[in-house]
Structure 1
Amino acid sequence: MYFLAIIRGLEADFRFNAHLHNGDPLTARTVRAPAGRPAGGKPPFTWEESAQDAIAANRYDKWNDWSIAGMLVAWERYNASATASTASIRPMSGPAPTSMRRAATSPTASSMRMPKRGSVGRWRC
């Protein structure tokens, strides 16, 4: 199923020697979030054991909507599940980063209008 193939690419660089959860080596339980997975069994794990645990831990074995929209929601859930417990949303204080200031002052489509016909000289070859 291509849903798992994309997760494998994102999390494990398409390797079969890494956990589907986060790309940690299969020789031990996961260290990075989610830590301690798979909860059952003994290392080293097979890729299939790890994948089954990742699917069950994220409840994709109960997921019913495999439409494109449903998979987009599922990928977002998968990506957010590892950081949701540790993430914090804070208002930005102080000046905006340089990249944001640059984006705010960059030319927009309305300021880059094409000149009127006949106002530009002819091309010379």
Structure 2
Amino acid sequence: MFGHVQGRHTQEGGRGERGDPQLLGRPGDPLLIIEALGERPLRFSELRNEVEGISHKMLTQNLRMLERKGLIGRTVYPVVPPRVEYALTEPGQALRVTIDGLCDRTHRYLGHIEAARHRTDTAEAGR
């Protein structure tokens, strides 16, 4: 699912070492952005550094989509150069609670998930 490795949110682990890299989350996944914004408001460059593997284009598209859906807010400060911060809205915070539940579930069943993956991979290799 998600991870926080050396200050970066990844699809591996959850905050700490939770999750499964292939259940949810891939570079550019909006859920990784929501997870990254859960701690505090971030500027674009900070978000890009936090979400491992995301391109400038993908981050821009996902931020616009999340803002349009009301999950994040965008604050522009009238300074030179302009400063823009992104933060979770109340619905975004509520969604993050759900994401945390998914991370907890994945962590709890990681051994089962890995065993099932191994069985499937072994069976497919034998075909």
TM over 0.5: same fold? Answer: no
Per residue, is there more helix in 1 or in 2? 2
Per residue, is there more strand in 1 or in 2? 2
- Larger of the two Rg values belongs to structure: 1
The TM-score normalised by the length of structure 1 is 0.25
The TM-score normalised by the length of structure 2 is 0.25
